[in-house]
DNA sequence: GTATGTGCAAACCTTTTGCCTGTCG
DNA sequence: CGACAGGCAAAAGGTTTGCACATAC
């Protein structure tokens, strides 16, 4: 465990969004300018292999990352603002694994992404991204 | 509407799998060898913009395409063989749109991908990809 | 004949890798 | 010292694009 990895790991644990490698590099460089992009790539790959980090694809050609948490969760992307909202839903988990079973498979992993538009008169806790609005249970 | 596009469109309409550009190029070339990869890329982009085609990402770094159909469907990817099985499930659609609603959003589109491993003594209609095993309702 | 499509190859962009140096224990 | 981590820059792999030529209508 070297200095660079510590910095990158720290950046990742602080992040509650879904940064891509470029953004991680930017944040890590701010803390320690002796870090190269290659190291960021190598580190995220390492962490992904160990299950500490998860790679996401929300379109746009670059991978984005987030810390693995216990319990799976899903993403709802606001198609107007690009904001990503995390949520968890047990019904969804069980429905999906039930479906896999019916098709003759054991569900190993899965993902679900919803793309939506905010309802006009909605609850929509918009405004300053209070940095830890966290995962919503729905 | 030129010859090349006609060929590519034809290949796409015939395909009931999820070919990537390389594969599309291979199939199209077999019908008309005066087609270049660039044209395939240009054509799929065009068709995607018009909503005729949908781009998918099942990992592996390359985009894969399939014809847009009315009614949404989902994918289960066999993590051992890479085979993709399509299915539809109404419960899933309604659950997802219900979730979006609870979060204050109108569901515009969505995707769900399951990654699974075939059960040992399963139904698993393996073997030659009978070319039109079609979409399963689960 | 003009507008649009195509082929080719070069350019692009993200990600990976080779190689040699730096760092940890 | 010995093994592993990092920097740099080059390479790789998928996708896009500039330009001159071909095709459609």
pLDDT tens per residue, range B4-41: 899 999 999 888 888 999 999 999 999 998 999 999 99
CA gap B22, A75 in Å, rounded: 30
Residues A90, A118: one domain?
Answer: yes
Residue A124 pLDDT class (50, 70, 90 cuts): very low
Residue B67 pLDDT class (50, 70, 90 cuts): confident
Residue finishing a domain among B67, B89, B114? B67
Q: Which positions ≥6 away from A70 have C-beta within 8 Å?
A: none
Q: What is the mean pLDDT of residues A96-122?
A: 86
* Cα nearest neighbour of B61 on chain A: A61
Residues A78, A48: one domain?
Answer: no
Which nucleotide lies at the shortest CA–C1' distance from B37? Answer: C7
CA gap A67, A136 in Å, rounded: 16
Estimate in Å the CA B113 to C1' C7 gap, whole number: 37
Q: Is B118 helix (H, G, I), strand (E, B) or coil?
A: strand
> Which is more confidently placed, B121 or A90?
A90
> What domain range is B19 assigned to?
3-67
Residues A85, A52: one domain?
Answer: no
Given an 8 Å threshold on Cβ–Cβ distance, is B100 in contact with A114? Answer: yes
Residues A60, A88: one domain?
Answer: no
Residue A128 pLDDT class (50, 70, 90 cuts): very low
pTM for the structure as a whole: 0.72
Confirm or reject contact between B122 and chain A (CB < 8 A). Answer: yes
Q: What is the mean pLDDT of residues B70-83?
A: 79
CA gap A29, B47 in Å, rounded: 41
Does A55 contact strand C, using a CB cutoff of 7 Å?
Answer: no
DSSP character for B135? P
Estimate in Å the CA A80 to C1' D25 gap, whole number: 40
Among A76-85, B43-52, B88-97, name the one with the lowest average pLDDT: A76-85
Which nucleotide lies at the shortest CA–C1' distance from B42? Answer: D16
Number of structural domains chain B divides into: 2
Residues A78, A127: one domain?
Answer: yes
Q: What is the mean pLDDT of residues A30-38?
A: 92
Instruction: Decide if A112 contacts B100 (C-beta within 8 A).
Output: no
Give per-residue burial for A50-76: e unless 16+ CB within 10 Å, then b: eeebbeeebeeeebbbbeeeeebbbbb
Instruction: Decide if B92 contacts B74 (C-beta within 8 A).
Output: yes
Instruction: Decide if A118 contacts A80 (C-beta within 8 A).
Output: yes
Q: What is the mean pLDDT of residues A38-55?
A: 91
Give per-residue burial for A103-117: e unless 16+ CB within 10 Å, then b: bbbebeebbbbbbbe
Give the residue from A96, A111, A121 with the most B CB atoms within 10 Å of its CB, the best one to mutate. Answer: A96
Residues A86, A61: one domain?
Answer: no
CA distance B57 to chain A (A): 8
Residue A82 belongs to domain with CATH number: 3.30.1490.190
pLDDT at residue number B2: 86
Give me the residue from B101, B124, B138 closest to A102, CB to CB: B138
What are the tokens at B50?
A: 């018009």
CA distance A19 to chain B (A): 18
| Listed residue (B35, B117, B47, B64) closest to A103, CA to CA | B117
Residue finishing a domain among A16, A51, A67? A67
Residue finishing a domain among A47, A67, A87? A67
Given an 8 Å threshold on Cβ–Cβ distance, is B105 in contact with A119? Answer: yes
Is B94's pLDDT higher than 80? Answer: yes
pLDDT in tens, A52-81: 888 888 777 889 998 887 667 888 888 777
Instruction: Decide if B106 contacts A77 (C-beta within 8 A).
Output: no
Instruction: Decide if A11 contacts A65 (C-beta within 8 A).
Output: no
Estimate in Å the CA A120 to C1' C19 gap, whole number: 58
pLDDT at residue number A91: 92
Residues A37, A57: one domain?
Answer: yes
Which residue's alpha carbon is at the shortest distance from the C1' of D9? Answer: A38
Residues A81, A54: one domain?
Answer: no
Residue B129 pLDDT class (50, 70, 90 cuts): very low
Query: In Å, how far are A100, B23, B39, B66 from B6, measured between CA atoms?
Result: 37, 17, 12, 16
Is B122's pLDDT higher than 70? Answer: no
């Amino acid at each position: 465990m070297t200095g660079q990895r510590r910095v990158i790991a720290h950046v990742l644990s602080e992040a509650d969004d879904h940064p891509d490698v470029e953004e991680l590099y930017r944040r890590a460089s701010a803390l320690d300018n002796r870090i190269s992009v290659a190291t960021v790539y190598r580190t995220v790959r390492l962490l992904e292999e160990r299950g500490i980090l998860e790679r996401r694809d929300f379109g746009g050609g670059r991978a984005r990352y987030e810390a693995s948490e216990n319990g799976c969760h899903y993403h709802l992307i606001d198609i107007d603002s690009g904001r990503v909202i995390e949520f968890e839903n047990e019904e969804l988990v069980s429905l999906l694994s039930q479906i896999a079973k019916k098709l003759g498979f054991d569900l190993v992993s899965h993902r679900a992404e919803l793309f939506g538009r905010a309802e006009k008169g909605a609850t929509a806790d918009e405004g300053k991204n209070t940095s830890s609005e966290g995962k919503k249970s729905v």
